[in-house]
Structure 1
């Protein structure tokens, strides 16, 4: 769901295994794109748990040795796919919250963001499988948590525009509430796309009602 108010805290990201070889030349960049496209297609077809590096190499039309030059292991490949999704999500959030000036605009902007995010995940179910792959790797799970903190902080910053919060304890409470809202939102979306469309839409609407109550009065 990556123009907005500056983040009020910096998030340390623990590094997961990353690509060994920087794709400087255009041919190398094109090869990395083929690898990522092949991996995404295979994940969409069979899930991240069953993803095999040999199949990625074959689908991308390269040798397994060439694949390992760019991605030393599956976690590195999933990480790069996740980072691309995260970058697009952060931009979507910044754009969605940039015009928040009062409670009404915050409520409408947040509700619209949830709808947009749900639509995107429905269109790209591979995102769900990439999330699943991150859950079983501690370093990738740390990356996901760091991303949730960044997104939650962007929501908190928007809430600070609307609510007069000065006490340090209240600031921390708003930040924690925003993080919980964000984490619950991602969990809701994952659940919503796992059930039939009607139930999924109802779950998303239910989440929005709960989240908007907290956003409207985070210090209640």
Structure 2
């Protein structure tokens, strides 16, 4: 994990919870915050409202989170943990180039469906991009994810092409997030075509690195 990703959300906490009751309180604050972000957008959410709907006085929010940015940082950290678990579960199963190609499709589909099921995640990611520190952290996380996938698949790529392959993975992981955001903003029929097109591009580029040539159908 990159140094800048070492517990940014936890470092933003004013007070580190040690008891289960305190951890439960933080969980409830984060749950309510995510719901409000999905309902109203990040700019319209207030600390006072978070406190009221999470079942406690505003002081009980401020004792853990100094401001709304700290809440966003913690939400982002949990989002990252979720994505990392998803990636780790699938890259660990890769043993052939075809399995690597299938993994890119499966990961994208899983991520896409999760985003559709949790629309507030879209608002969270938009808020992250609006915060310079968190945006930098998000880029570092994208790089980390690309490196994890690279580590699981580099054996399928000629050694003199591996640096290029890693850079391509970094771009593809970044563009995957952008493609998802776009797909979630357009009608479902158009979204399906956009997703299919992106997956085709990824498969075509990956096939080139794995075989030395583009698929015959291209």
- Residue 111 in structure 1 maps to residue 105 in structure 2: yes
TM-score (normalizing by structure 2): 0.90
1:48 aligned partner:
42
Question: Contact 1:34/1:60 (CA < 8 Å) preserved in 2?
Answer: yes
Q: Displacement of 1:85 after TM fit?
A: 1.1
Q: 5 Å matches for 1:81-92?
A: 81-92=75-86
Q: Displacement of 1:105 after TM fit?
A: 1.0
Structure with the larger RCO, 1 or 2 (CA within 8 Å, 6+ apart): 1
Instruction: Tell me the SS of whatever aligns to 1:24.
Output: coil
| In structure 2, C-alpha distance between the alignment counterparts of 1:185 and 1:144, rounded to whole Å | 13
Shifted more, 148-157 versus 201-210: the winner is 148-157
1:73 aligned partner:
67
* Unmatched tracts of structure 2, length 5 or more: 214-218
Instruction: Tell me the SS of whatever aligns to 1:49.
Output: helix
2:216 aligned partner:
none
| In structure 2, C-alpha distance between the alignment counterparts of 1:60 and 1:203, rounded to whole Å | 38
Specify which of 55, 77, 93 is matched with residue 61 of structure 1. Answer: 55
Q: 5 Å matches for 1:1-220?
A: 11-13=2-4, 15=8, 18-165=12-159, 167=160, 170-218=161-209
| In structure 1, C-alpha distance between the alignment counterparts of 2:41 and 2:102, rounded to whole Å | 34
Shifted more, 155-164 versus 81-90: the winner is 155-164
Question: Contact 1:96/1:110 (CA < 8 Å) preserved in 2?
Answer: no
Cα-Cα RMSD: 1.6
Question: Contact 1:12/1:146 (CA < 8 Å) preserved in 2?
Answer: no
| In structure 2, C-alpha distance between the alignment counterparts of 1:60 and 1:164, rounded to whole Å | 54
Counting matched residue pairs gives 208
TM-score (normalizing by structure 1): 0.89
Relative to its length, the structure with more helix (as a share) is: 2
Q: Displacement of 1:171 after TM fit?
A: 2.9
Q: Displacement of 1:190 after TM fit?
A: 0.7
Instruction: Tell me the SS of whatever aligns to 2:93.
Output: coil
* Unmatched tracts of structure 1, length 5 or more: 1-9
